Amino acid sequence: MYEQISGNIWRSRLLLVMFLAILIGIGYVFSRAYNDPFIMPLAIVIAVATTVGSFYYSDKIVIATTGARAVDKDEFPHYVNSVEGIAIAAGLPCPRIFVINDLAPNAFATGRDPEHALICVTTGLLGMMDRTELEGVIGHEMSHIENYDIRFMMLVAVLAGSIALMSDFFWRMRWFRSSSRDSNGGGQAQAIFMIIGLVLAILAPLSAALVQAWISRQREYLADANGALLTRFPEGLANALEQIAEDPNKLQSANKATAHLFIANPLKDHGGAMNSLFDTHPPIVERVRRLREM
């Protein structure tokens, strides 16, 4: 378990460094293409400004989007007791507890930090899981909170948004502003950077989406391993994941914007082999195999 946790942490950090390198490289090329050193900082400032609101209000947005509602111990005593017990085991404040009225078994955690977190499961999951399986799912979601995955993935979203916004700026400036040649005869170099910029404007958002998906998959593996460490029973989560994968029901409130939050992709039909490159969740078969190797 400790080996998996350590390995997934450093792989996630490496991917984040790659993301930053891509962002800086794109900003440099775009700035040279238009001979304007302010393009990169301007794009980043705008991208960050537009995502700050999402960072502070993400939990409210997700609750409204999924139709989740708060519950108490009188309504779901086993569920609430499990969340409280695993929060104690993780040394965290108990998150707010929600459910979604839906037959499809699934769960997610959101919030910007452990003090402002919530855990939500569907009524379908509560109806089919035994105690150890439910605790496995909650341990997985508690690990996302403990590891600050929500904050980490928000940072990744900011970087991905910055890259997409910079690419969009490049295309708009291409139409509304003629490129100027510098007074020192650097027109040929500027033209080369313009060609490179055109290529990057097409490929950069695609690359950002790929890296974002890779990071998300690593964090899911990390939450599996860390969740098994919390419960000391990997088989519980493995069994839960198998049941979620076998269930034919599709989450009614599922959409691409929130799909990455869930323990398993709620979009049952989310594409073929090509689209699997952009999946935010690893294959459940592989997740189960790793858990059972513990």
Catalytic residue among 84, 115, 133, 141: 141
Phi, psi (rounded to 5 degrees) for 106 = -165, 175
Of the candidates 203, 167, 155, which has an alpha carbon nearest to the alpha carbon of residue 40? 167
For Cα atoms 53, 99, 119, give the angle at the middle one, nearest 5 degrees. 55
CB 47 within 8 A of CB 160: no
Distance CA 163, CA 197 (A): 12
Residue that has been written with the tokens 């794009």 in this structure = 43
Which DSSP string do the residues of 137-151 spell out, in sequence order? Answer: HHHHHHHHHHTTHHH
State whether residue 40 is helix, strand or coil.
Answer: helix
Our answer to whether residue 220 is catalytic in this structure is no
Give the separation between CA 146 and CA 92, rounded to whole angstroms. 7
Give which of 64, 213, 226, 93 is closest to 153, Cα–Cα.
Answer: 213
- The residue to which tokens 């947005």 are assigned: 61
Strands annotated E in the chain? 69-70, 96-100, 107-111, 117-122
User: 129 with 243: CB under 8 angstroms?
Assistant: yes
| Cα-trace Rg, the chain | 22
Enzyme catalytic residues = 141
